[in-house]
Amino acid sequence: MSRGSSPKRIAILGAESTGKSTLAPALAARYGTLWVPEYLREFVEAQNRVPFEDDQPGIARTQLAREEAMAASPEAQDFLFCDTTPLLTAVYSRIYWGRVPPELLALEARHDYAATLVAGLDLPWVPDGLQRESEEVRKQVHECLLAVLRERCIPFTLLEGDLPRRMRQVEALLA
């Protein structure tokens, strides 16, 4: 990466238990760069609960702030892999509360990534304590995510298969 330029941000989206948090560090290692972990995991562990509706904007702000900080790091090379974005936080608000707070809508609207990857549902669903609810909710989130991306005309690549296959799909996209 040339001095003064920012890495291309790659959004990795998907419902729970679709392999995002496995894919992001694998891609960062492959490209010798950084990845931004999903803040929601940290929030759930620290609070020992799932978010309330009022927590959603703060979760999205923190996710975006961490992304900004990582993008500014000298260790961030050509790409920065972002394990979720405020857009996915807004999708969860739609699912759980039937609405998205205005502040979160504004953060969602900032979805401006070099590529948007969506992890498919072909991996087995695995319960993960408080953060994962059910296979049915996973399907609902996936369908809502795809609908929002299509509605907003955001191009995306659906990733399917095991980790090596998903890595090859991303490598072909980023080549």
Average model confidence (pLDDT) across the chain:
92
pLDDT band with cut points at 50, 70 and 90 for residue 58: very high
Q: Tell me: the pLDDT tens digits for 101-119?
A: 999 999 999 889 999 999 9
Q: For 167, which DSSP code?
A: H
Kindly tell me if the per-residue pLDDT of 48 is higher than 60.
Answer: yes
52: Cβ–Cβ under 8 A, 6 or more apart, which residues?
none
pLDDT at residue number 126: 81
- Return the higher-pLDDT residue of 116 and 138: 116
Beta bridge partners of 159: 119
Say if residues 14 and 145 touch (Cβ distance below 8 Å): yes
pLDDT band with cut points at 50, 70 and 90 for residue 57: very high
Angle at 124 between CA 121 and CA 125, to 5 degrees: 85
pLDDT at residue number 23: 97
Tally Cβ neighbours within 10 Å of residue 135. 16
Q: Tell me: the pLDDT tens digits for 65-84?
A: 999 999 999 999 999 999 99
pLDDT at residue number 1: 45
Kindly tell me if the per-residue pLDDT of 3 is higher than 50.
Answer: no
Q: For 39, which DSSP code?
A: H
The one-letter code for the residue type at 135 is E
Domains with residue ranges and CATH for the chain: 8-174 (3.40.50.300)
pLDDT band with cut points at 50, 70 and 90 for residue 4: low
